[in-house]
Amino acid sequence: MNRTARALIILAVVLPSLQASGSQEAAAPGSLPFAFQEYRLRNGLHVILSEDARLPLVTVAIGYGAGTLREKPGQEGLAYLLENLMFQGSDNVSPLQHIAFVQKVGGELNATTTLDKALFYETLPSNQLALALWLESDRMKSLVITPAAIDRTREDLLKEHAERVAADPYLGTFSEFDSLLFPDHLYGHPLIGPRMSDLAEAEILEFHKTYYVPNNAVLCIVGNIDAGRTRELVARYFDSIPPGLDSPSPPRPEIRRENDAVVRSVKIPVGSAGFHMGFRFFPLQAGDTDCLRILQYVLLEGETSRMRSRLLRHDLTARYLTGALDEKPSIATLKLFCLATNAVMVARSEKGILAEIDRLRSNAISQDELIKARRRFKKDYFDRLSTNLGKARFLVDAVFAGKRLDTLGGELDAVVSVSPQTLEAFAGKYFTPQNRVVLEFGPQ
């Protein structure tokens, strides 16, 4: 009797329920694992509050609809520049004092610019909630943008970007891959680039005036708070900030389907070889995102996921493989990043990935595999919501994605209810050469 067969018998005795279904795992259907309340101030500011008394902490997150989608051709880097100018002082907070105030009380803060928004957040002791609101409201109301601050910030950002590119030989390939994946300027242009130097003061001010207004923002407060007292503080600091003009809805790009897979190659200054591979899914229909979320787990999450297992464990053609689902308005992409030792292994790894895609299209995913993916998805979902910041980002992301917050509780159920047949049909429809983009890279 071989080892595997013996193992199966022993498991049958010891773990009779190992392959049982996950029927006991279901949380209360249709509800989020935490409560929240939302409302709007008179100036249009969308406010979301959620109480969590576990630790003496509070997270204040504020998102502005001022992401890279708002940049016009020639304005690449404007959204990122504005994000950083938000730390350059306002009427009552001197340049760079925002950071100092938060750090002084032991808080952590950061900011990020994505396609749809610029997000600013700080987590600090909960008795300092008023401080965070004071800081955020002051820069919302009275950000001071001077030519000197623009020059200094721009110079710092370009310098730091150059340092990052020099330190990470693969970094440049990511933005190159994005421009290949999304030929349209709206989605395909990088967060930062040399054109940032050409931005005029007037267009920077105009961008700020248009998008950094309360009626284009979401304020989310999560943590050890009293909702009544927090409402009072929010009113105190934000209610009198005048609204801006209504911002037009962000534009949507035109996405064209190619006749065949797009494959390009570039040189990098190190000895490694590898590739990016992406699959585009558009136009998205109801339920498509649920399919993709599960497929991402089937293909790429965990050591036994199909692609990782094949390339890293069995074929041994790659030494690194990772993947992520990128959800944008009207289009989603599954992006893979793979490192191999040389061009031959790159070719074999690409072939292995495509073989797994073919398998996906021609064979239904087994129940066991599906249960595994569902459980892991669910675990990661709860992990994401285990911190105040995780919850705040989840809620703010949802608002900017145009979702109704009272429907969010149903998302998890929708994902874990996707059937093998639905997945097979989805794979057959979308995983076509016309939706595939590849960027190979290798040594100069």
Partner 1 sequence: MRHQVSSRRRAGPPASQTVPAMGLAVLLSLSLPAGAQERFRRTPPLPDAQRLELKLPPVLTFALPNGLTVATARRPESSVVTLQLVIRAGEADSPPNRPGLASVTAQMIGKGTKMLSADYFENMIESLGAQFSVTVFMDYTVMTMNVLGDKDLVDRAIYILRLMAIEATFSERELAAVRRTAYWQLYESKKDPEVLGWRQLLSVLFADHPYRVATYSEDVVKFITTRDVSEFYGRYYRPGNAAVLVSGNIDGAAIAQKVGSLFGAWTGPAPERAPLPPPPPNGKERVCFVEAPESAAATVFAGNVIMGSSGQDFYPFLVLKQILGGTTRSRLFMNLRETKGYATYAFTEMEVFGSCGIYWARALVEPASIVPAIHEIVGEIGALASGPAVPSEIEEAKSYLVGSLPLRFESSAGFAEWMARYVALRLDPGQWDKGPEEIKLVNAERVREAARRYLLARPVVVVVGRPEWLSQYLNDLGAVEVYDSGGQLKHIKGEGR
Residue 7's contacts (CB-CB under 8 Å, 6 or more residues apart) are none
- Among 80-88, 172-180, 205-213, 402-410, which window interacts with partner 1 (CB under 8 A)? 80-88
Residue 399 or 412 having the CB closest to partner 1: 412
Residue 302 or 428 having the CB closest to partner 1: 302
Residue 138 or 178 having the CB closest to partner 1: 138
Residues 201 to 220 in contact with partner 1, rule: CB under 8 A: none
Residue 188 or 410 having the CB closest to partner 1: 410
- Among 155-163, 185-193, 259-267, 403-411, which window interacts with partner 1 (CB under 8 A)? 155-163
| Nearest-approach distance from CB 397 to partner 1, in angstroms | 18
Using the rule CB under 8 A, is 94 a contact of partner 1? yes
Residue 48 or 157 having the CB closest to partner 1: 157
Residues 105 to 124 in contact with partner 1, rule: CB under 8 A: 105-108, 110-112, 123-124
> Structure tokens of 422?
């639905």
| Nearest-approach distance from CB 383 to partner 1, in angstroms | 6
- Among 253-261, 352-360, 379-387, 429-437, which window interacts with partner 1 (CB under 8 A)? 379-387
Residue 153's contacts (CB-CB under 8 Å, 6 or more residues apart) are 81, 84, 85, 88
Residue 215 or 333 having the CB closest to partner 1: 215
| Nearest-approach distance from CB 149 to partner 1, in angstroms | 11
- The tally of CA atoms less than 13 A away on the side-chain side of residue 31 is 8
Residues 156 to 185 in contact with partner 1, rule: CB under 8 A: 156-157, 160, 162-163, 166-167, 169
| Nearest-approach distance from CB 213 to partner 1, in angstroms | 16
Using the rule CB under 8 A, is 330 a contact of partner 1? no
> Structure tokens of 225?
């708070």
Q: Which of 40, 72, 209, 313 binds partner 1 (CB under 8 A)?
A: 313
Residue 56 or 428 having the CB closest to partner 1: 56
| Nearest-approach distance from CB 400 to partner 1, in angstroms | 18
Residue 10 or 324 having the CB closest to partner 1: 10
CA 378 to chain centre: 17
| Nearest-approach distance from CB 279 to partner 1, in angstroms | 23
Residues 268 to 307 in contact with partner 1, rule: CB under 8 A: 269-270, 302-305
Question: Alpha-carbon distance 187 to 332, whole Å?
Answer: 11
| Nearest-approach distance from CB 285 to partner 1, in angstroms | 27
Q: Which of 29, 35, 39, 56 binds partner 1 (CB under 8 A)?
A: 56
| DSSP-derived pairing of the beta strands 46-51 and 217-223 | parallel
Buried b (16+ CB within 10 A) or exposed e, 410-435: ebbeebbebeeeebbebbeebbbeeb
Q: Which of 310, 378, 393, 436 binds partner 1 (CB under 8 A)?
A: 378
Using the rule CB under 8 A, is 333 a contact of partner 1? no
| DSSP-derived pairing of the beta strands 118-125 and 46-51 | unpaired
| Angle (nearest 5°) at CA 297 between 10 and 435 | 140
Please confirm whether the linkage preceding 194 is cis (ω < 30° from 0).
Answer: no
State the Rg of the chain over Cα: 24
Question: Alpha-carbon distance 63 to 81, whole Å?
Answer: 15
Residues 239 to 258 in contact with partner 1, rule: CB under 8 A: 239-240
Residues 133 to 152 in contact with partner 1, rule: CB under 8 A: 134-135, 137-138, 141-142
Using the rule CB under 8 A, is 126 a contact of partner 1? yes
Using the rule CB under 8 A, is 443 a contact of partner 1? no
Q: Which of 64, 101, 279, 400 binds partner 1 (CB under 8 A)?
A: 101
